[in-house]
Amino acid sequence: MEAQQAAVKRPIPLSTNYAVAYAVKDLDVDVVAAYPITPQTTVVEKISEFVANGELDAEFIHVESEHSAMSATIAAALTGARAFTATASQGLALMHEMLYIAAGLRAPIVMSVAMRALSAPISIWNDQSDLFGSRDSGWVIYFAHTAQEAYDTLIQAYRLTEDPDVLLPVMVAYDGYVMSHTTEPVVTEGRSEVLKFAPKRPYPYRLNPDKPVTIGAIVPPEYLYEIKYQNVKAMEGALAKAEEVDREFGKQFSRSYGVMECYMCEGAESLIVANASYAATLKSILPEAWRQGLRVGLLRLRLYRPFPVKHFVEHASDAKGVLVVDRSISYGAPYQGPLANEIAGLKVREGLGFNLTSVVAGIGQRTMEDEDFMALVRLAWESRTRRFPETMFYGVRE
Amino acid sequence: MAVQRLPSWREMPIGGVIVNPGNSLEYKTGDWKVLMPVIDQEKCTRCRICWYVCPDSAIKELDKPYTTKKGRAYKISYEVDYDFCKGCGMCAQECPVKAIDMVPVEVV
């Protein structure tokens, strides 16, 4: 019997959405307020099933919009409950003002985002316009690239968001459909193990009639700046905390990811910066690329806010070319991929010598086959010796 | 006048949380008025209308006897609490005997 328990845990087949729902169950979340939106819906659908079956003792609040979903989640977190919600696309856009309020009030919340295009015209398919539109809301942002990583990151995220030195809401983002609805083997760890790693640490000023506080009062010009600066410092500090949480996660569960992953970077001359499913696909492509003599590594963004600057510099300082793949558009910006703009800033800040190539791809889930990724690898390789000043819109029909 | 030292970001509670309940009294909301009401105790008939209409409860009904020059004795007086009066002028507008003047605040 003991030998059986000590045996390697058997993975179960789960979509990334279901992996998130299982994480929520294992984390013993107290309040879930959500509104269904494709391609996130099956997250909360599964959670409501857990609640109805008595597998999760949580308050499931059926709200009338995502604006209300985020409002209720904030309120729940501030009363001291462990709160969760999930959304995508228009839902995330509708939450927009409440995202800033969650971060401004330092509400410990975790939200999963199954990234999707934004209207108009309507597209229910994947890109990352929704996530990048929320970039500056003050949330910690993770990208997961497998269903297992999504499960694990949810658990890490609660440890991080409830840390009294952090208290910033956390988004765990992954690609809609390509990941949200794709089934992969996932090891789940069960509630007792998960709660051992991430015990509940409620919001410090939680609802307590004996110690009344005011939350959300108006702040005159003499004070707002300092409060926003507190968020700056909390976000900066969250980087080391996230690394520590990931290390400790690795100790307990034998899986860890770091905050930024460099795959096949040893001896690479060029790097591709990518996240989520594109990073996963590139991992399967790169060995073939190297066989063809294209020594290109993958710099996978996992923790995106706060941005792991030192890690990036460490990996990219010797690179001759860096190709950044964006799946959202910053219309009219110097580089029209938001991520490429940031990397351009980093290049200047750190005096890095690589040629930067900005590529937009996969808008509205335009299919990217293996040969398309290979084309990006070739472009990254070419970037060693050639400058491409303009953002390229890969795969758009002329 | 000594300049009040405001707290650094390190000294403030996170998220703008107010941890000391009941401190709204310390917040003087009337420092931005342009016109201030001045009550003429001679004309005032103690009808209480200004006290009633003031949206900021900045008219105080005080147990302060007052006798007019014509010999009319009142047991109470109305005074303005300028810490909280925002200068809206509703009291002056509603005063039936025009005992309240709105006077420009002198900025020193």
pLDDT tens-digit readout, A34-48: 999 999 999 999 999
Q: Name the closest residue on chain B to residue A106, using Cα atoms.
A: B15
Identify which of A73, A127, A62, A119 has the alpha carbon closest to the alpha carbon of residue A95: A73
How many domains, chain B?
1
Q: Percent of chain A having pLDDT more than 90? A: 97
- For residue A322, tell me if it sits in a domain: yes
Average pLDDT rounded to a whole number, residues A347-360: 97
pLDDT at site A365: 98
**Which residue from A304, A339, A305 is spatially nearest to A324, judged by alpha carbons?**
A339
Assigned domain for A219 exists: yes
Beta bridge partners of B61: B78
- The answer, for B5 touching chain A at a CB cutoff of 8 Å, is no
Which CATH number covers residue A195?
3.40.50.970
Whether residues A297 and A210 share a domain: the answer is no
Instruction: Tell me whether residue B101 is exposed, middle or buried, using C-beta atoms within 10 angstroms of its C-beta: 0 to 12, 13 to 18, 19 or more.
Output: middle
The answer to whether the Cβ–Cβ distance between B12 and A230 falls below 8 Å is yes
Average pLDDT on A242-263 reads: 98
Cβ atoms of residues A270 and A290 within 8 Å: no
pLDDT given at position B107: 72
Rounded Cα distance, A17 and A21, in Å: 6
- Comparing alpha-carbon positions, the chain A residue that sits nearest to B27 is A220
Minimal-distance CA residue of chain A relative to B4? A222
- Is residue B35 within 8 A of residue B103, CB to CB? The reply is yes
Dist CA B8 CA A302 (whole Å): 33
Interface predicted TM-score (ipTM) of this complex, two decimals: 0.87
Domain boundary among A253, A271, A301: A253
Burial class (CB in 10 A: 0-12, 13-18, 19+), B55: exposed
CA A228 distance to own-chain centroid: 23
Contact A222 B6 (CB under 8 A): yes
Q: Are A338 and A392 in contact (CB under 8 A)?
A: no
* pLDDT surpassing 60 at residue A5: no
Per-residue confidence at B2, pLDDT binned at 50, 70, 90?
low
A222 and A100 both lie in a single domain: yes
- Residue A362's domain comprises 262-393
Which B-chain residues 28-57 have CB contacts (< 8 A) with chain A? Answer: none
pLDDT over 60 (residue A2): no
The verdict on a CB contact (< 8 Å) between A167 and B14 is yes
Percent of residues, chain A, with pLDDT higher than 70:
98
| Nearest one of A197, A186, A191, A188 to A160, comparing CA atoms | A197
Are residues A227 and B15, on separate chains, in Cβ contact within 8 Å? yes
CA distance A138 to chain B (A): 12
Query: Among residues A369, A360, A364, which one has the least CA distance to residue A284?
Result: A369
